[in-house]
Structure 1
């Protein structure tokens, strides 16, 4: 992708009101507890959920009432695009994409920190934050092209980097003009010099502790929906929520509520996880690793360090959700 704009997605009811679409999702239904209430007895209490996936907004049908996108009836799920109309018996909602400047860093939101090869630490207190060889850049690196890397604060506090010259992120090529979302601990290399993302994001403590340190969560809750669920993590009194679809939700559920005598925070053996998530369907460690990657990616979309939260034991064979004895764990 290219360009300096920041995209936000909205669900509009008519010309006036709109709700922002986030990774946590907007719950639509007859219940007064929904984010958008459908005034129809034929709608289910929880009829549908619209959430922001990594590729863009997506619709998940949760209830029995009819849900349409344009003229098409959606039975299970559908990707959404700008201008799509989601139709119910009693209400129509339009998906809208808006381009704007990158969001400003809020005073309470921790900044991301870069570490250079000499050990210097540099906080990115503004968005965008330019790194390159020019005197106009926010961080100057000798020998680099002007504005070689452009860092921005993305949705949910995640970090986004756009390369203006060919680079790599953890060894994966990042061609000029392309963007990536580096996680905490990522190493970005350009012209033989490497910058490390030391800390940051919505749950960063503001310290420069090593990337393997535990997140120190105060509360983790998983709210089950007719399909998938909402995972909420609280630290420092601030919460981040993300919607997890189907098996992704099942994976987190078994890690937070494993069979006795194990408890949340313990490494859960792969055989146990596979049996709970896939049941009698055939699955192996490859399937588990793919699912684990997808859940980590979901967490990274809201600025969380998926690799730190979902830990694999050394050599593999077991996975734990990184909670400690004082973390309140709730499944509902």
Structure 2
């Protein structure tokens, strides 16, 4: 059943290229193409592409000045780059058609961040400085426009959990500008101070949803299987409880039947013993009447009647003791 549910999952948008393995990039001024011709767009394109990569800045704020970036190339022509621009000293884009307001360096655009740098008491700069061991995921969208600059949207460390889309990302994570993003190569570049950057988890896709991480316990099929499992567990639990109750009722019924059999046996014994005793008493009483004028014989008959009566009383006491619930204790024997 699980295999059938997995097979029925709807198809997702297309991942056009991916490279999940980490790459340490250090002193690679021009870089080398890692795309291998898998994807390309030129000035005639009119669709949208989404790019993702994750970085750990071995070169960080203490290593400035340097540059490091995930850069689009069209043959050997520089196109849009995202990372740490040569003059930015912060997460930024360069080779842009617009200039950011933070530093005013032409062709560079600082990226907004949820972790902006402090610039004074209660004051913050717009951008974030790269720091080693503070890994960041960067996703950017390029909406290609034929014959003109393309529209670029960059999210620095966006939410990629279930239900996340490019439309519900926080404004503080979102940077928009224009750039020429035509490409047939992707190169990872670093130059300047420090030990470079580690790039990993890179991909190009046609939808933001391809980058959303949906844990298996968040999927509808897992919820369905869990519901069935829970219902099965409840059904089994109810069955076990009912079975135990049934077995208990059988035990009680068997005990009642055993008690009834014991009562019947006692009644039969009582009937036999008392019948015999009463018959003897009746017989002795008849003999006593017949020998009423013979004192010695009468006395013997009366003694035997008394003995029989006493035996009958003792037998009745034993039967009453045996069937009384309180008689099965040690104190009742004393």
TM-score range normalised by the length of the shorter chain? under 0.3
TM-score, with normalisation over the residues of structure 1?
A: 0.20
Q: Which has the higher contact order (CA 8 A, sep 6+)?
A: 2
Radius of gyration: which is bigger?
2
TM-score of the two chains, using structure 2 as the length reference: 0.20
Higher percent of residues as strand: 1
Query: Hey, which of these two has a bigger chunk of helix by percent?
Result: 2
